[in-house]
Amino acid sequence: MNKQMNIGLVVGNRGFFPGSLVEEGRRRMISVLEGMGIKVIALSTQDTKYGAVESLQDAEKCAELFKDHADEIDGIIVTLPNFGDERSAATALRLSGLNVPVLVHAFADDLTKLGVESRRDSFCGKISLCNNLVQYGINFSDTTLHVEDPESNEFKQDLERFLAVCRIVKGLKNLKIGAIGARPAAFNTVRFSEKILEQYGISVETIDLSEIIALANAFDSKSKEVTRELEKLTNTFKPKGIPAQALEKMARLAAAMRMWVENNKIKALAFQCWTALEAIYGIVPCAVMSMFSESLIPSACEMDVMGALSMYVLQLASGTPSALMDWNNNYGNDPEKAIMFHCSNFPICFFDKCKMSYQQIIAGTVGKENTYGTCVGKVAKGPATFLRLSSFDTQGTIVGVIAEGEFTDDDPKTFGGYGVAHIPDLRQLLRIITQYGFEHHVAVNKNLVKEAVKEALEKYMGWEIFSAGHCDCH
């Protein structure tokens, strides 16, 4: 689902170390990157000696190359096949002016090849390079091991994590989140600061719920837009016992939302899902929101803009849909399990099996006939990452809390969308959530992407991200 990644490559060299190692190292690194479907933007062997950077002139050529491809480059890898010239590599990054993630990699020496003609000393050179990057104020990421062969499993995992970091950082630039409707009066929980988001280049596009309803009502039921959305609904949910009129209203709503999303280049959205829509329009938007999330436009309920942002970050990291859930119930006496719940609008890929139904909670207020369209089922077993981002308004910043765990086979007897999550150190995590005032909503993704998310948000966005073991809460 992810677009091709474009990586700038800086190959370091120091002249009195073996040049053959640079030729070989450059070739091996490019082979590994291209083998993973990555487009490599690097100096050629005609541009500089070995296509490497070892002087100010080389650094200037590299910087110009990167400037020419500034709109393409998602991140930069600096690789050291030998000790490398640390100043030149750092200068190339500085002169390029690119504000993208940087991964520092160094080749491992062979214990049988430590003679003058074959030793790398990249182990030491990496320390010198990183020292210069710190002096230059350039943020960078490290590999799991200090030195790694590019063909190793360790480097492959590091590269995949780095690519996720790059997707997050790039995806947050000039991001636009849609906000449909007003915050439900009872939900002080989901207050947020548009101005703080704007400081980080994230804008919020608002529209009144009445305008979306008016757009939905204006569509002809036989229009291609409504017909297309109705087909998606029926193919996705195979609804049984749902009135045709309710399904048509869902299709109209989906068509109206999609038009607004596309016209305004919205990447994620939050929706005023109750109770005005049910009282005025006569459905719940859950199934429609589920389809948007499934198609990689995360849709958060209860006008939770920061929840939508959290969903989007997890989606950028994994390339797969995210959901928004409540930390809802204890699971008996197990301190490391919780029932995760919403009414629900989870993307269809989250479920073991799912059916469309009516919303039992709101039905008591507005009547069953006005609440068709909710997604009911159990979340499938498997790994998961949980993320909550919040605007800490009095501190003027964005802060988050993150955890990894898994959904289990446990099947409590309940309604809506639900699943039992097992999360190590859950008690400490809940202390962080309560003591720092995080919301009861949490974004969830069915992949393990905690490290990439923390790296991207802390190192490159400057946001503090708490996790169990990372806090002195008592």
State the average pLDDT over residues 423-435. Answer: 97
pLDDT digits (tens, 9 = 90+) for 310-333: 999 999 999 999 999 999 999 999
What are 242's two structure tokens? 């749902």
Judged against a pLDDT cut of 90, whether residue 52 lies above it is answered with yes
Judged against a pLDDT cut of 50, whether residue 14 lies above it is answered with yes
State the average pLDDT over residues 185-198. Answer: 95
pLDDT digits (tens, 9 = 90+) for 257-274: 999 999 999 999 999 999
No. of helices (H) and no. of strands (E), the chain: 15, 17
Please give the backbone phi and psi of residue 213, each rounded to the nearest 5 degrees, phi first: -65, -40
As beta bridge partners, residue 398 has 391
- Helix, strand, coil % in the chain, rounded to nearest 5: 40, 25, 35
Identify the DSSP state of 457: I
DSSP letters, 420-436, are: EEE-TTHHHHHHHHHHH
Q: How far apart are CA 286 and CA 266, in angstroms?
A: 19
What are 88's two structure tokens? 């030149």
Please give the backbone phi and psi of residue 281, each rounded to the nearest 5 degrees, phi first: -105, -30
Judged against a pLDDT cut of 50, whether residue 177 lies above it is answered with yes
Element (H, E) at 59: helix 56-68
The three-state secondary structure class of 325 is strand
pTM: 0.96
Per-residue burial over 194-233, b if 16 or more Cβ lie within 10 Å, else e, is eebbeebebebbebebeebbebbeebeeeeebbeebbebb
Nearest Cα residue to 33 out of 64, 65, 62, 11 = 11
Judged against a pLDDT cut of 80, whether residue 470 lies above it is answered with no
Among the four given CATH numbers 3.40.275.10, 3.90.950.20, 3.40.50.10950, 3.10.20.520, the one describing domain 177-466? 3.40.275.10
Nearest Cα residue to 140 out of 151, 131, 148, 153 = 131
CB 174 within 8 A of CB 265: no
Beta 334-342 vs 322-331: how paired, if at all? antiparallel
Please give the backbone phi and psi of residue 471, each rounded to the nearest 5 degrees, phi first: -155, 150
Please give the backbone phi and psi of residue 420, each rounded to the nearest 5 degrees, phi first: -100, 120
Among the four given CATH numbers 3.40.980.10, 3.40.50.2300, 3.40.50.10940, 3.90.550.10, the one describing domain 6-172? 3.40.50.10940
Domain boundaries, the chain: 6-172, 177-466
The three-state secondary structure class of 270 is strand
Domains 6-172 and 177-466 equal at CATH topology level:
no
Chain centroid, CA 445 distance in Å: 9
pLDDT class of 471 with cuts at 50, 70, 90: low
pLDDT class of 472 with cuts at 50, 70, 90: low
Nearest Cα residue to 70 out of 47, 44, 98, 103 = 98
Q: Hey, how many other C-beta atoms are within 10 angstroms of the C-beta on 68?
A: 12
The angle subtended at Cα 91 by Cα 89 and Cα 95, nearest 5°, is 125
Q: How far apart are CA 25 and CA 50, in angstroms?
A: 10
Instruction: Give me the pLDDT at residue 184, please.
Output: 87
pLDDT digits (tens, 9 = 90+) for 104-149: 999 999 988 888 788 899 999 999 999 999 999 999 999 999 999 9
As beta bridge partners, residue 79 has 11, 105
What are 430's two structure tokens? 């809940």
Instruction: Give me the pLDDT at residue 474, please.
Output: 42
- Kindly list the distances between the CA atom of residue 460 and the CA atoms of 156, 166, 336, 456, in Å, as whole numbers in the listed order: 21, 10, 31, 5
Q: How far apart are CA 402 and CA 388, in angstroms?
A: 7
pLDDT digits (tens, 9 = 90+) for 215-237: 999 999 999 999 999 999 999 99
- Kindly list the distances between the CA atom of residue 48 and the CA atoms of 13, 78, 82, 98, 309, in Å, as whole numbers in the listed order: 11, 16, 16, 21, 43
Side chain identity, residue 50: Y
The three-state secondary structure class of 237 is helix
Side chain identity, residue 57: Q
Side chain identity, residue 20: S
